Amino acid sequence: MERKFNKQPKLHVKSGDTVEVIAGNSKGKRGKIVEVLVKKNRVVVEGVNMIKKHIKPNAQNPQGEIKELEGSIHISNVLVVDPSTGKPSRIGRKLNDAGNLQRFSKASGKFI
């Protein structure tokens, strides 16, 4: 009996996808995914869930500063925007003509 550990789950989003937030304070906003945090099941979306980070004074920046950065949001709170229709859609996987698994939009049925 062989066990497989540390296998990363397949996620419905990739970095670079345009997504729409469907829940939370940023509901309705759209943006590109900057980073996918696989182990935490979270994504960082451009311009969504902005947080303020206080930076301590140091040699390069003796005054210190307050930066505004994107915070992460849970992966279940985003839907991929279908490029053909421009609307958010759930994602599935099926074999394409070459015999490889490829993501497709469940709303339109077209490959992404």
All residue ranges of the chain with pLDDT < 70 are 1-6
- Cβ contact 78:13 at 8 Å: yes
Percent of residues, the chain, with pLDDT higher than 90: 84
> Which 8-state DSSP code applies to residue 53?
E
Residue 89 tokens, joined: 């859609």
pTM, two decimal places: 0.81
Q: Summarize pLDDT for 74-106 with one digit per residue, the tens.
A: 999 999 999 999 999 999 999 999 989 999 999
